[in-house]
Structure 1
Amino acid sequence: MTLFDQLGKSPDSGKSRQLVTNSTKYGLSLGSYSAEFLELTDDGLAAVSDEASPARQLRARFRCAVANIDVFNKLYESYLNNRLPSQAVLIDKARELGVPEGDALECVETFIVNTKFIGVLRSVGGAERLLGVDAVIDDYLPKSGSSQRSGIVKSDVRAGSPAAAPPEAQHSDTDGAGYDDACFYISPIGDEHSEARRHADLFMGALVEPALSEFGLRLVRADQIGDAGMITGQIINHIVHSKLVIADLSFHNPNVFYELALRHAVRRPIVQISRLADRLPFDIGQIRTVVVDTTDIYSLVPQLDSLRAQIGAQIRAALEGAEVENPLSIFSPNFWSSMPRS
């Protein structure tokens, strides 16, 4: 009664009883609404205590809001480190997990609210993604003894955290092993919050990843495996060995053209995309390119499905094609046979 008096609520109202019941089911507190006393669990105390470290608080909140709830935990594990699918897909998944038809929508809505509230559902790379708890602690939460990072949300998950780079990004070999399920995304990246970065995130999250999903390939972007704008050994390995490369030629970025030329030299599958505003140079303008008009959001949004389908069609054609044509193969077909051999 003291508690609800402080809350300004009636202890016997239906809403108050529901609060107690929900708190108990989430593992935040002990005691039913008919009990004389209520008490916080260890996780409940850590979840709300100002004295708990940010990392301990997040882990406690995660256990209460997601991990200890079977259907939420299975949804989370199903899409961990991936973009969050559409609500319809999540509802179908909830039904597969045994949620009754009439409860599936509310289940999915509550799952999204919970993961968003505790910070494991974040906008990364132009799409909403479910991140690992350790990745959130490493990349988003303030470090012990430091307040400078508090409240900062990065627009990309960087190398060094569990969600920073997919498994194939950790390979440093040069024989092609580990790249058979990789699609390397050559793209202008730019500084955080720059127009180029926002463009890259939008194209990756809204167009490229959805189009790629049916092919079983994992998308890798340069800033996931190294500093943006730097040509590293790992990046070159991805350019050379990945099963597919998708090149975004927008902004006429020099690094993009350099990396595209490397891919041409190994004559492996490429898909080109570009903004309508950027006129392509003659040499690569003859290669089929998916062109995206970004000048008007009101005309862009209705075309998203069509653009994804176009990119998907180009991916399929590139992967199925027996011959990979590019300016080298067209204008210098003897390039490879004339290469000096050591």
Structure 2
Amino acid sequence: MADKSEEERINDARAKKAGKQRPFPACPFLEALDLAKSLLEYGSGQPVRRISLFDHIGKSPESGTSRQWITNASKYGLTKGSYKAEHLELTPEGAKAVDEELSERERTKAKVGLAIENIDTFNQLYEKFVGNKLPARAAMVDSARDIGVPEKFLEEAVDTFIVNLRDLGLLQTLSGAERIVTVEHLLDTLPSGTPRQATPKPHPHSPSNLVTLEHASFENTCFYITPIGEDGSEQRKHSDLFLGSIIEPALEQFQLKVVRADNIDKPGFITRQIIDYLLRSRLVIADLSFHNPNVFYELAIRHAARLPVVQIIRAAERIPFDLNQVRTIKIDTTDIYSLVPRIATYQSEISNQVRRALEDPDSVDNPVSFFYPNFVARIDG
């Protein structure tokens, strides 16, 4: 067999590399849109120096998180300029998406074009399912596979697609089920917009098998920080519902066992055991609902350790000032009729955030790590 030419080797290398890359941006659209908004605010629509922009935002321009943010905004077609570019600027469509002087209809049309129609993976999924109820997750994963999404990105593609649909208003609760609506239907509802929805069928969660500290496999553990309350209390019902109906299903694909404080079965000093879970678990999900002081105390420990955290809260509650810069998933629990159809969407939001936290744990961003990046090193030293 003859040796391949240099050109053939280069083409093979490119094809191999392409197969390992996501065929879609690595974050939901609204996260990338935040960069476009910052560009508009800081530069009034004109190109701006990348370093100056990030200094204004209060983030390091060279951090992995910032670089990924720039890359994703560019992939969505919101901005021009790579993470190495001297200047960043809005694209014409990106400018439309964030221009408050345009009508809500015009802005929404631009957003849909950037977030769905211009991303081939998402556009193909949208064209297949538009006009129907949100299909079973397995069906969506199969469809993503059929259109050529690499196996390792299938779950992420579906999660990001669903979150984008929800954020743009293309996923609406109609006739008691979440349905993927046409762009025309969405635009016809503007500028009044569609009401935000909210709350699941209570699936009382019975605490899973109790876990002893000796037998805990922290690498496969997600510790759930939540206000538990007494049996029958609102806090307990809330925690059971979120755990059994939203969090555990969202983590199934990651093969993580969720442990709550009342799952720990070991005589002795419970605070010490909780701290062990906070510092050793692969992931922590913190539920800020009810503004429980124990939750904030435990979250602060995890933040200080700069370990992966995903934050959630009931949509009706205010995120405390010190945490309002940290991305927090809001779950609307207003009424059962609107929450039940949206459970799958909330599961996808959590899965999306979990995946990113686990893939790049060094990018963990919180008030402690931002202002004192060497905090852990100082303690260890």
TM-score normalised per structure 2: 0.44
Bigger Rg, structure 1 or 2: 1
Of structures 1 and 2, the one scoring higher in RCO (CA 8 A, sep 6+) is 2
